[in-house]
């Protein structure tokens, strides 16, 4: 399961990973070159917490990345 979200000038792909019994929240995020950066910017965040379902892990990762964007690029 991959949850795709556009937020401001960023693309967030929440990519939950199963660890057997739970799901680990993780995400890939990128900002396009149209924002003035030469090749854009991309980041991978892993281990953003454990969740009971893939959907809740995707939601957690998306929320975490939105806060990160706001704090670092707001």
Looking at residue 33, its pLDDT comes to: 63
| Domain enclosing residue 58, as ranges | 3-73
Task: Give the C-alpha distances (Å, rounded to integers) separating 45 from 7, 34, 36.
Answer: 16, 23, 23
Name the domain count of the chain: 1
Please compute Rg for the chain using Cα positions: 13
Residue 29 forms beta bridges with which residues?
A: 12, 43
Burial of 52 (0-12, 13-18, 19+ CB in 10 A): exposed
Full pLDDT tens readout for the chain, 74 residues: 899 999 999 999 999 999 899 999 999 999 976 655 556 789 999 999 999 999 999 999 999 999 999 999 87
Looking at residue 73, its pLDDT comes to: 85
Global confidence as pTM: 0.87
């Amino acid at each position: 399961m991959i949850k795709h979200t556009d937020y401001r000038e960023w693309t967030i792909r929440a990519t939950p990973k199963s660890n057997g019994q739970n799901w680990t929240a993780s995400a890939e995020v990128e900002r396009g070159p149209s924002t003035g950066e030469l090749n854009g910017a991309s980041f991978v965040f892993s281990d953003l917490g454990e969740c009971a379902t893939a959907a809740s892990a995707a939601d957690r990762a998306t929320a975490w990345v939105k806060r990160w964007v706001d704090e670092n690029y707001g």
